[in-house]
Amino acid sequence: MAGVRVKKLSKSFGEKLVLDGVDLEIKDKEFCVLVGPSGCGKSTLLRIIAGLEVQSSGDVLIGEDAVNNVAPKDRDIAFVFQSYALYPHLNVFDNIAFSLKVKKVSREQIKEKVEKTAQMLGLSDLLHRKPKELSGGQRQRVALGRAIVREPKVFLMDEPLSNLDAKLRIQMRSEIKKLQQKLNVTCIYVTHDQVEALTMGDRIVVLDGGKIQQIDTPQNIFNNPQNTFVATFMGGMPMNIVEYDSTLVGFRPEDVCLKGSTPTAALSAADLKFEANVDFVESLGSYKIAYFEFKGVKCCAKIPQDADIKGVTKFYVPKAALHFFDPKTKKVLN
């Protein structure tokens, strides 16, 4: 197995700069998630590591070896695509076995490796089927099986779950994470889904505008965003950020409390207290989302399901849950 490093990596398509001097080290056996909005450069970075795109400048190392001039097939990586990229005329067995046949592995070894991989992925009863006879989740498992059977140094995955429905995505992301831990292999995973990134990654790399905005554990990314982009991009609901007393104050919807739900004596003078007119309340089963405007900014709060609010409402946010950012640089104030 091996880690991956990129040094001062840049990529332009014509006059458009897609990656701008990216430095990144992914540790051996780490599950690293690249996340960011469309056009941020995450898929381009993954394809450069795979050798499917050529960087404009900079270096890619897999283990201790520079692979700038190494063909994709010789980089000892496996790429799992969003589209599955299965051969429609081959059955599941032959799709998984394809790379082994190209390498002229013996028939007995191929059978052993494919059957072992199929059992690991719950595909043993489907080996005779063609891709058109499979569900989306089953096709994704076949694509994973084709990668696993090669025993590569590094797995690269480009939004592999985006074509699946919500329930299956949740199931598959836990399966992929467990599989990576079982195989003990380095994995670089691209997604635009913030929740997917937070639940799967050992570390998360947040990209925007071709630059790395923050690299950290999921917990630190969520609790200690280093700038307003990371604060508003990461999480199930974006952080509310308003200008208050000449600085930018951020607070997550989950941290907004209804005034009156806590004894007045327990409130601190440093807590953020405010009134706002609630425009709309959305019920989501076990909780509600209240939408309101504060300091000219549209905000929201996660409130208890049994809360009955409308019109002007008193809120507060505990001091410990507040984040402060510089209005000019948008970076966190320590």
pLDDT in tens, 199-216: 999 999 999 999 999 999
pLDDT in tens, 311-334: 899 999 999 999 999 999 999 997
If you classify domain 237-325 with CATH, what class do you get?
mainly beta
Flag whether pLDDT at 110 surpasses 50: yes
Flag whether pLDDT at 124 surpasses 80: yes
Task: Enter the tokens of residue 126.
Answer: 């489907």
Q: What is the per-residue pLDDT for 265?
A: 47
How many angstroms separate the CA atoms of 263 and 277, rounded?
22
Q: What is the per-residue pLDDT for 266?
A: 57
Q: Where are the domains of the chain?
A: 4-225, 237-325
pLDDT in tens, 153-181: 999 999 988 888 888 888 888 889 988 99
Q: Where are the alpha helices (DSSP H) in the chain?
A: 42-50, 92-102, 107-120, 136-148, 166-183, 194-200, 218-223, 228-233
How many angstroms separate the CA atoms of 40 and 18, rounded?
7
Provide the mean pLDDT of the chain. Answer: 92
How many angstroms separate the CA atoms of 5 and 27, rounded?
8
- Fold for the domain defined by 4-225: Rossmann fold (3.40.50)
pLDDT in tens, 218-229: 999 999 999 999
